[in-house]
Structure 1
Amino acid sequence: MKRRLPPLNALRAFEAAARLGRMTAAADELSVTPGAISRQVQLLEDSLGQRLFEGSKNKPQLTPAGQMLLPALSSALDNMEAAVRAVSDNTTGTLDVACFSTFTVKWLIPRLFDFNARYPDIEVRLRTSGPLDDLERARCDLSITVEEGTQEPAWDADNTLPLFPERLGPVLAPALASRLPLHTTADLSRHTLLQSKTRLNAWAMWATAQGCAAPPVNGTVYEHYYFTLQAAVAGLGVCVAPWHLVADDVEAGRLLAPLGFCDSGYRYVAKRRAQRSQKLDLFCTWLLAQAREAPVPQIALLNQQRNSVVLRGLEA
């Protein structure tokens, strides 16, 4: 018997828009324009004789018919995708990897040349938007995110790969340090302390980890962490930053970290799809090796008797 189904593109457009909650997000995922998503949804509604969305275009809501259709449609598309992956499971093709944008720019991209050289037939596509803790919603093979906890997790049944702990420390440009030396936490009061809108609690988190009072934060609040780091490189103030985001700048001499780094209480982990994938296996093995081989920072220990910072030196 002939199947009586609406066009597949219309079903995919509706499913993505309904799952993500926005036409623009669906357009990004399917690599089309928001207008194309709207037209496909309209085509599906006309085919079914039912409204699937209601409310404003900026924040559409599912109708009862849309709510009924979405779970069955998502499940069907997931099954189709799983079958296609199983058939095409080899060491060539595309991997979709999601992670924070600054992490992508400062840590992952500078290392990807090594993966590309080893596996030229695997294309790694990076995305920095979407829910990093939900692989199905993000439609990606692996996501790199942050979890609370200082103990290294095991590679568990949820396919979590432990990468490294997050370590925070103040950094500043050498020219600024020559004018206003930074030897102890008390010296921070003489500096302009930069902030990022995406992490306004960074200085307070660092102070808690150091066991000292939070310094008064008086500097510019930048829209993005990457902007804050660049402002520190330019000598506009002191930024408290995770080691893995500034390691290359510190090693190259563009930034100094005179107070060292301390554990923030968070860890970076990677979460992979549970389905078998040779391409993903290769990438996970490579990613774990990169995390193990990454340089370790100076560890700051607060000397309670003298209220100064003692640097323990580079660890192997």
Structure 2
Amino acid sequence: MARRPLPPLNALRAFEAFGRHGRMTTAADELFVTHGAVSRQVRGLEEQLSVRLTEGPKSRLRLTEAGLKLAQALTQAFDLVDEALPQQPTDADGLRVTVQPTFAMKWLIPRLPDFVDAHPDVPVRIQETNGPVDFGSTDLAIRLGAPGTGAPPGAQVTPFMQHYQGPVMAPGLLTGPVTVERIAALPRLHTRTFLPAWAEWEGRAGVTLAPPPVDREFDHYFYMLEAAAAGLGVAMGPWAFVQRDLAVGRLVAPLGFVDGEASITALTPRGGLTRPVRLFRDWLVAQGAATPPPPTGEDV
């Protein structure tokens, strides 16, 4: 069999982590290395491939179109490797929480230090998945959908945050007056995770959009949102996923947000909850209540 001419694994891991998080510092924290080490690995990968994978100022780097394509493929490959690895014994897993990857990165993990500080005796293991809920391999699942959607028999469903969504884009993508018609004329970004997002927003917002000049699809929410930040088009962004990017100016939401048809819920086994599960579920409820609502169309 011919040898695969692949770049170094460390460089691919560093770049994939940056692609998921959108920040060198967060990728460095995940890999337990320095910010500079991740930066050097990414620069080395670009030099070896002779392709620009990132662009923009050092403080606000974003993926190029080639970078988005490579990062998406790497995440899929690493997910397959992770699924194939032998599972650790349950006793070593701590409190196992399954959650959609983008929700974990954008909402859950930034708030997790609050739970760790309050309950240092409860180890939490975040497991990223979009698959069915199996209480044989998880203790608590976080899902987005109508209450009860995707819940296995015997599950207790606890909604803890309302789902809002609205069009988001890079700050400089649209200049001048903001109208629905002008936004409809931009490239439209989609995630295969939830393809009906635009149609749902139209129905909730009471508008009908003209067909876009081009549609671009991505496998995950976080790639779609990175594409939006890179100026590749306008995305339908859930408030829980984009709140931090809006706060730092990576994205703007010129039409505000509308409430969606779904809720963000915690799914737990019905009856006989363990102390760690009960503590984490109650903490999610408190964190959801403390998350400020987004601006509506009338507020922007």
Compute the TM-score of the two structures, normalised by the length of structure 2: 0.64
Number of paired residues?
214
Q: State the partner residue of 1:169.
A: 166
- Counterpart secondary structure, 1:299: coil
Query: How far has the Cα of 1:287 moved from its partner?
Result: 1.1
Within the candidate set 226, 229, 233, 2:229 is matched to 233
- Give 1:166-205 correspondences, 5 Å limit: 166-178=163-175, 181=176, 183-205=178-200
Q: State the partner residue of 1:100.
A: 100
Q: Provide, for residues 270-294 of structure 1, a one-character-per-residue CA deviation record: whole Å limited to 9, x for no partner.
A: 0112333111121112111111001
What is the alpha-carbon distance in structure 1 between the residues aligned to residue 83 and residue 247 of structure 2?
A: 41
Query: How far has the Cα of 1:174 moved from its partner?
Result: 1.1
Query: How far has the Cα of 1:122 moved from its partner?
Result: 1.6
Q: State the partner residue of 2:246.
A: 250
Q: State the partner residue of 1:160.
A: 157
Q: For the structure 1 residues 96 and 270, does the alpha-carbon distance in structure 2 shift closer, same or farther, using more than 3 Å as the test? A: same
Contact 2:184 2:209 (C-alpha < 8 Å) held by counterparts: no
What is the alpha-carbon distance in structure 2 between the residues aligned to residue 258 and residue 29 of structure 1?
A: 46
Q: State the partner residue of 2:143.
A: 145
User: Structure 1 residue 208 and structure 2 residue 203: aligned?
Assistant: yes
Q: For the structure 1 residues 122 and 298, does the alpha-carbon distance in structure 2 shift closer, same or farther, using more than 3 Å as the test? A: same
Report the identity percentage. Answer: 33
Query: How far has the Cα of 1:25 moved from its partner?
Result: 8.8
- Counterpart secondary structure, 2:253: coil
Can you give the 5+ residue segments of structure 1 that lack an aligned partner in the other structure?
1-23, 33-80, 85-91, 150-156, 301-310
What is the alpha-carbon distance in structure 1 between the residues aligned to residue 236 and residue 130 of structure 2?
A: 26
Can you give the 5+ residue segments of structure 2 that lack an aligned partner in the other structure?
1-80, 148-153
Q: Provide, for residues 154-176 of structure 1, a one-character-per-residue CA deviation record: whole Å limited to 9, x for no partner.
A: xxx94321112211100111122
- Counterpart secondary structure, 1:175: coil
Q: State the partner residue of 1:297.
A: 294
Q: For the structure 1 residues 124 and 193, does the alpha-carbon distance in structure 2 shift closer, same or farther, using more than 3 Å as the test? A: same
Q: Provide, for residues 201-231 of structure 1, a one-character-per-residue CA deviation record: whole Å limited to 9, x for no partner.
A: 2111111111111342423211211101011
- Give 1:126-145 correspondences, 5 Å limit: 126-129=126-129, 131-136=131-136, 139-145=137-143
What is the alpha-carbon distance in structure 1 between the residues aligned to residue 189 and residue 181 of structure 2?
A: 16
Query: How far has the Cα of 1:130 moved from its partner?
Result: 6.4
Q: For the structure 1 residues 172 and 135, does the alpha-carbon distance in structure 2 shift closer, same or farther, using more than 3 Å as the test? A: same
What is the alpha-carbon distance in structure 2 between the residues aligned to residue 258 and residue 130 of structure 1?
A: 30
Question: Which of structures 1 and 2 has the bigger CA Rg?
Answer: 1
Contact 1:176 1:235 (C-alpha < 8 Å) held by counterparts: yes
- Counterpart secondary structure, 2:256: coil
Q: State the partner residue of 1:88.
A: none
Letter in 1 for 2:247: E
Q: State the partner residue of 2:87.
A: 30
Letter in 1 for 2:198: W
Compute the TM-score of the two structures, normalised by the length of structure 1: 0.61
Letter in 1 for 2:87: L
Q: For the structure 1 residues 312 and 278, does the alpha-carbon distance in structure 2 shift closer, same or farther, using more than 3 Å as the test? A: same
Q: Provide, for residues 261-315 of structure 1, a one-character-per-residue CA deviation record: whole Å limited to 9, x for no partner.
A: 1122111110112333111121112111111001210123xxxxxxxxxx146xx
